[in-house]
Amino acid sequence: MALPFINGMTGHVTSSIWEGVRLSLVAGGHPHLLLSLPRASDAVSSAVFGGGFLQLDHIVNRYVDHSYDCSDPVSDMQAFAAACGYPPASTAGLLTAVKLQQVSLWEERGGEASVLCCTTAGAGNAARAGAARTTYAAAYKPGTINTVLLIDGKLTHACLVNAVLTAAEAKAAALGDLGVRDAETDALATGTTTDAIVVCASQSEAYGTEHRYAGTATDLGGMIGRLVYESVAESLAAYRKALP
């Protein structure tokens, strides 16, 4: 059964499905959420800093306001991580304009893997993939729906990519069920123009299974879908409640 965590959290919470994983809300002059792992783990990421296939033990979701200078976010995040003392080679940095207190954290324990999902979600620039709309040659803004999946289990790299696909489907399903619309086309939105995701796997052999697939017909994909759906919906509900 999925376990909802904290909306409006302060301080930190520890995971019950992956020993040593902790989510911290860091306040002060540089507010951010920090997911810290007990050791560097295989990951696939679309983060502005720390993207691609790599090993991560720190995942930062940093709050910036809408006036943030996006001209060089990679260098800015690198400097931010260094100032916080996070190792640059194993840190992924996400940027969000969503209030950090609107974070939603869910986790679920399974027989062959366990999953934690952490999401900050807003809908200010909701968009529908595949619809004719305004696009740009290159565009970057702070992330509106940022999702982090931590999977305690052994996964192939192909399975990590499959997990990204299932997470995207679940996000789109949540937005559709909530009636979130593309402001430009009025079609039901499938995401926003600035979504990002990080998926990490512990590669633990404790479950005795190597996962090659994470589609919706698999136990692993089922967990991913449920947790992403619930965390996107919960964070969006908090975002909507806070709107003027």
CB 68 within 8 A of CB 97: yes
Q: What are the pLDDT digits (tens) for 91-149?
A: 999 999 899 989 999 999 999 999 999 999 999 889 999 887 777 656 555 668 999 99
User: Tens digits of per-residue pLDDT, 38-57?
Assistant: 999 999 999 999 999 999 99
The pTM for the full model equals 0.93
Among residues 81, 65, 197, 80, the alpha carbon closest in space to that of 142 is found at 65
> Which residues have a Cβ under 8 Å from the Cβ of 133 and sit 6 or more positions away?
127, 182, 184, 185
Q: Which amino acid is at 215?
A: G
Structure tokens given for 40: 């560097």
Choice among 73-77, 114-118, 151-155, 174-178 with the minimum mean pLDDT: 73-77
Two structure tokens written together for 168: 């995207």
Count Cβ atoms below 10 Å from residue 106 Cβ, excluding itself.
21
**pLDDT above 80: residue 26:** yes
How far is residue 156's CA from residue 162's CA, in Å, rounded to a whole number? Answer: 10
